[in-house]
Structure 1
């Protein structure tokens, strides 16, 4: 992509009403556009990052047997009344709307009920289980406070997976498999070292659930981390009784602020009982299906990456989520030959499948360097009179600023690694 063709532009300052670092940087760098409080649009660069995050999650969910589908956002009150979650004092973030025929609909906040109802059409025997289904689906939540950028929004995409198992043992096997898949996701997204599996309240579903908390000074949650065991406890369940129950030593824990980037919940038979999801076992006895839910918000993960990895100059994208692998900067100094060489290099990288953003704009070198730092693409390739005279290019890594001179004959091999 030629940067001169992007309709977006970088900004020196973020909107005055934006306090979250992730949103400030993403807006300034041209990744997102703020529509209103808690509502953001993804611009071309931002959508590329978002789609890369989705790709990582999808690959890991498919690897553990997940089957992807997509359910509707529009929710029937009758279905949710069966689980007693249509009431506003049960779920207080509903967006509800009246229909012209006098009925009412809700915009989905989560999908346990419709997913369970769907499975009643396909599960009747022990031979039909287990099953694992997931979606990337737009949720709507009427949040009272939406001031954390894309970490907490009123409209967002959620990857929600639901497991349907014959019994607790079968459920637990998959539960741990999904926890391991989440670790792979966070490793690939560049925040694995600072993300900890954390015990939290199971709410009305179970004694405990598991959150994946990424340590960050701007996080909303307080957690207690055992860095050696790589586990944590959320403050909401942090008591001596719970620590004893979990076998965790208080002396080994450190209090930290963190951002929740994922969660997995045992649901038991809460929804299968309410919605009649049962199967006949080997002896013909009807048994309720044991369920679990597993959530990750791609946008929230994207915002967390910015919060955790950004530096004073701007965003620092890990390679797997970056919008492009390489950012070419043409530093012409008025020399047309430099532009010609940069054009040639850009086409060469494209031909070799290396996704590249090419800054071919006619602006000062300092502006190009500042924008490149702000945008945060992993590898910067500088083409100038100096590099041409030396027969190569200068490659700068965004994460640490290290610089390598690469000969022309080695460019493709170097950038492809």
Structure 2
């Protein structure tokens, strides 16, 4: 593709209503076009980059024996009713519609339930395990506020991966293999030295999770890095080493005046106020 043949142009400014840094930069460079809040189209330039990224990820996933598939966007409600996640009270991001015969269907916002239904149709014994599958697929989520640009809006491309194992030990070993595969991806992207495996808050099934955070000026999260271990923590879950204040929650003493010109420094002040050190 010759640059002279492309129809896109760079822009001096991003749309006034675009708040996400990643989308602002990509729109100005002509890689994506904003359709509406949380929804973007990829231009030829953007699609070429996207396909290159997908191919690198695909090669690394195949390297650890994961198999690519593509599941449907339309979801039948019976499958999700089994887990209770069809309820709008429990999951408030569903996009739902009706077929012409009145049957209610949903548009996939994640695919845990569909992959279980698919795999249990084929797996008949523990001897069939382990199995790992992944896909690149559009997700649709009825987010109240779409503020993360192309990362997570109302429609976005997700690479999701699922694996089933016969033992916890095998699961944990494969989990580490996946982490190493993603590290190789980031190194091939040219971001390996600035990307950290980061402890973060969990999702639907766990209290905590891991995420990959890349340090950049357009970043939107705060993380804390421990230099001695190269371990990173999202600010949401960063541990605190400070000793808890034993006086937390104590009744505040009434305000008063203290007039003593001989009080110099914090130590003298705490002694005069009878504050324990």
TM-score, with structure 2 as normaliser: 0.81
- Alignment correspondent of 1:112: 112
Deviation at 1:207, TM superposition (A): 4.6
Would you say how many aligned residue pairs link Structure 1 and Structure 2?
A: 242
- Alignment correspondent of 2:166: 166
- Alignment correspondent of 1:89: 89
Gaps of 5+ in 2: 243-277
Within 5 Å, which residues of 2 pair with 1:140-219?
Answer: 140-203=140-203, 205-216=205-216, 218-219=218-219
User: What SS is found at the alignment partner of 1:61?
Assistant: helix
The 2-side partners of 1:209 and 1:10 are apart by: 38
- Alignment correspondent of 1:128: 128
* C-alpha contact 2:76 2:106 (8 A) present in aligned 1: yes
Inter-CA distance 28–238: structure 2 relative to 1 (3 Å threshold): closer
Inter-CA distance 200–24: structure 2 relative to 1 (3 Å threshold): closer
Inter-CA distance 122–96: structure 2 relative to 1 (3 Å threshold): same
- Alignment correspondent of 2:61: 61
Deviation at 1:59, TM superposition (A): 0.6
User: What SS is found at the alignment partner of 1:87?
Assistant: coil
Within 5 Å, which residues of 2 pair with 1:358-373?
Answer: none
Deviation at 1:76, TM superposition (A): 1.0
Deviation at 1:114, TM superposition (A): 0.3
The 2-side partners of 1:183 and 1:44 are apart by: 28
User: What SS is found at the alignment partner of 1:149?
Assistant: coil
Inter-CA distance 13–209: structure 2 relative to 1 (3 Å threshold): closer
- Alignment correspondent of 1:35: 35
- Alignment correspondent of 1:70: 70
The 1-side partners of 2:202 and 2:8 are apart by: 43
What is the CA RMSD across the aligned residues, in angstroms? 1.9
Larger strand percent: 1
User: What SS is found at the alignment partner of 2:236?
Assistant: helix
Larger helix percent: 1
The 1-side partners of 2:214 and 2:84 are apart by: 33
Within 5 Å, which residues of 2 pair with 1:251-330?
Answer: none
The 2-side partners of 1:30 and 1:211 are apart by: 28
Question: Alpha-carbon deviations, 1:328-349, whole Å to 9, x = none?
Answer: xxxxxxxxxxxxxxxxxxxxxx
TM-score, with structure 1 as normaliser: 0.55
* C-alpha contact 2:200 2:209 (8 A) present in aligned 1: yes
- Alignment correspondent of 1:225: 225
User: What SS is found at the alignment partner of 1:58?
Assistant: helix
Question: Alpha-carbon deviations, 1:137-184, whole Å to 9, x = none?
Answer: 111011122233222321111111101100100101100000111111
